[in-house]
Amino acid sequence: MGEEANCNVAVAVVDPRLQGISDAIRVVPHFPKQGIMFNDITPLLLRPGVFKDAVDIFVERYRGMGIDAVAGIEARGFIFGPAIALAIGAKFIPLRKPKKLPGEVISETYVLEYGTDCLQMHVGAIEAGERVLIVDDLVATGGTLSAAIRLLERAGADVVECACLIGLPKFKECACLHSLLFASERWKDIDKSAVHY
């Protein structure tokens, strides 16, 4: 709780929009199972001004950085990723859960807070050397982001950054990461070291 409060203070100092974003995220205890504090972004989506603030912050950061593609992680990365991609003039690549993509895919499995899963990407979605931003709503253990990075790098992409709205306090470096809300090239390195990538 103390850590969360500190994160919010840091966020508010950096950009006045961040407090509204933080306030619009609901924490639901024991969902989807006992012991998980579920960070629910759906209340934020019901407030168009706050939703726009969240997208705008990412767009302001990534516009002009030569990003060729935004890769969104199913499912909640599909909420923010396409809006960011359109605004910065990049293509959007869905990283999907198994058996959803009809074409030839490459796959990466990973461990979650509450289970295991797998991400897949269409072969040919990215070309070697293209600059990619990975987008999701939240990083907890970093397992999902790490799988996404591995998937894209296997295809020869240059992963520029990973951008998420929420970094859980349990994710060790979260307090300082929050000061950038939620978008930092440092996540890529932390993510890698967290899972021995």
Ligand X SMILES: O=P(O)(O)OC[C@H]1O[C@H](OP(=O)(O)OP(=O)(O)O)[C@H](O)[C@@H]1O
Q: What angle do CA 109, 114, 118 make, to 5 degrees?
A: 15
Neighbouring residues of 117: CB distance < 8 A, sequence distance ≥ 6? 97, 109, 110, 144
Q: Whole-number minimum distance, CB 113 to ligand ADE, in Å?
A: 4
User: What SS3 state is found at 1?
Assistant: coil
What is the spatial distance between Cα 111 and Cα 63, in angstroms, rounded to a whole number?
Answer: 32
Alpha-carbon distance of 55 to 178, in angstroms, equals: 16
Cβ–Cβ under 8 Å, residues 195 and 146? yes
We find the least distance from the C-beta atom of residue 134 to ligand X, in angstroms, to be: 10
Active site residue 113: yes
| Residues lying near ligand ADE in the complex (CB under 6 A) | 36-39, 113, 138, 140, 168
Q: How far apart are CA 97 and CA 107, in angstroms?
A: 9
Query: Which partner from the list ligand ADE, ligand X, none does 120 bind, CB cut-off 5 to 8 Å by kind?
Result: none
Catalytic-labelled residue, pool 17, 61, 76, 96: 76
List contacts with ligand X (CB under 6 A).
73-76, 112-113, 117, 136-144
Contact between 135 and 141 (Cβ < 8 Å): no
- Shortest distance in whole angstroms from residue 95 CB to ligand ADE: 15
The interface partner of residue 136, options being ligand X, ligand ADE, none and the CB cut-off 5 to 8 Å by kind, is ligand X
* Shorter beta-carbon distance to ligand ADE: residue 90 or 187: 187
Q: For ligand X, which is the closer residue by CB, 12 or 39?
A: 39
Give the nearest distance from C-beta 151 to ligand ADE in angstroms: 18
Per the structure block, which two tokens stand in for 72? 């969104």
Check 113, 153, 173, 186 and give the catalytic one: 113
Is 60 annotated as catalytic? Answer: no
What residues are labeled active site?
Answer: 76, 113
